Structure formats: structure tokens, C-alpha cells
Amino acid sequence: MIDIHCHLLPGIDDGSKSLDDSLAMARHAVNAGIKKIVATPHITPGRYDNSLKTIQPVFENLKASIIAENIPLEISFAAELRFDPIIMDLVNNDELPILGEYEGERLILLEFPHSHIPPGSEELIQWLADRGVRILIAHPERNRSVLGDIEKITPLVKSGCLLQITGGSLTGVFNDAARQCGVELLKRGWVSIIASDAHNLHARCPELEPARKEAEKIVGEEASLEMVFGRPEKISKSHFQNHQS
Ligand SMILES: [Fe+2]
């Protein structure tokens, strides 16, 4: 399986706290059947002021340690971008962290505030679409606005956004409302990706299989496998090309 939303890199957001934590998470992921991870630290202006330039050395250090420790996990990195006008600067400066490719377009992982879907979302999505950038929305099933009325996400789905739900939502790590919302999104056929959004080895672990099994009950085995293997593999292919030959 391939996890394309995971806070594996140490010390740069609210995910892993140390290199040892990251290595423990990497070992846990491997034991849980995950072969590749695209690490996605937050870029949240004013809180986690990360950029491709600041993430790169942290990534390289962890990658070297994973190789030194003989952990059979391939890693790459992008970011989880908070909805913010800074995204337009990143596009204009060619500094956008790309999660991968989808239908010939660049794909980014976008997070809304947990409280709501901000006004201007559809305009930003259109602005990005005009520049060949497609959006994977992180965990809409945990957004209070969507929890209150699932139709709040409908216009974004109609405008071409993909949805990523977090495995823990389906396995009850958060609350029943998030689980029910995730189930409803699955029933509607709107979920493209299940990711771990792992932050640690306590409540939010790098695991996908328990959630995939829950999804299988709703969408069937084949579609559930697409969410943790087929589709993330296609999306992240360019990240791992150098390692596949
Ligand atoms: Fe995240």
C-alpha cells in the first residue's frame, strides 16, 4: 500500500517529534503493509512556515537514516497545504509542493480549516484549475461544515476536486460523526484516496489496512484497493520513478 498523506518528517509540524519517532513510524508502516510514503508536512502560514526548501534537508536526513537502518520503505515528500492565498504565490514562483499527477494535471493536497470551508474556495480552485493544478481535499469528513451538511462539499466535488478521507475516521479514531460522514462519502462514490494522515504511533498511526477493510464493506474489495494502492501509486509515480528501475 502507498500512503500519500503522512506527517512522517521529524520536528517540522505537529507530526513526528524526533528522528527516532520517524524511524519507529517507518517500521510500523512497513509492518502494516505500507511500501511507500509521500511525507506531507503542514504548510500553514504563521504556524508551520515550511517550504520545499526547508522540508528538503529534513527529508534527506530521514531518508538516509531509513536506508542506514535497512527499513524497506521508500519515501518522498510533498506537503499538506492549508487553504491560504500563499498558494497563489507558490504557483507563481514555481514552488508548489506537488503530491503527484492526476489525469495529466499536477495534484496538490489541500487542507481547509477544520471549522469551515472558507469563502473563496471555489474561486481559488478555479484559479488553480486554469493553471493545470488539481486538488485532493484532505479529510473533508472531519470538517465541521461538512459534518453539519454534507452538501457543503458537493460544489467542490462537482468542480473536479478529489477527496481523501483519513483511515482513522473509518475505524473510529475520531468520533462517530466523522465515521458516518466518511461512510456517506464512500457511498456516494466521492472518495478517491484513503490515507493515514499519521502523526505518531499513539492515536494516529501509519496504517491503512483496517480502514481499507471498513471501506470494502461499502464499496467492495476492488474499489477499496484502488484507494490505498492503485490510485496513490498512479498519483505518486513521479516521486518514485528513480527507484523503480
Ligand atoms: Fe495531515
Q: Give the domains, in start order, of the chain with CATH numbers.
A: 2-244 (3.20.20.140)
Judge whether residue 85 has pLDDT over 60: yes
pLDDT number for residue 245:
38
From ligand 1's centre to the CA of 207, what distance in Å? 14
Q: How far is CA 117 from CA 19, 100, 131, 230, in A?
A: 34, 24, 22, 29
pLDDT number for residue 244:
44
From ligand 1's centre to the CA of 238, what distance in Å? 21
From ligand 1's centre to the CA of 5, what distance in Å? 6
Q: If pLDDT is split at 50, 70 and 90, which confidence band does 242 have?
A: low
Q: What is the pLDDT of residues 225-234, one digit of tens each?
A: 999 999 999 9
Judge whether residue 237 has pLDDT over 70: yes
From ligand 1's centre to the CA of 6, what distance in Å? 6
Residues 6+ apart with CB under 8 A from 128: 87, 91, 108, 134, 135
From ligand 1's centre to the CA of 245, what distance in Å? 30
From ligand 1's centre to the CA of 163, what distance in Å? 13
From ligand 1's centre to the CA of 204, what distance in Å? 10
For the chain, give the percent of residues with pLDDT over 70. 98
E strand or H helix that includes residue 78: none
From ligand 1's centre to the CA of 21, what distance in Å? 17
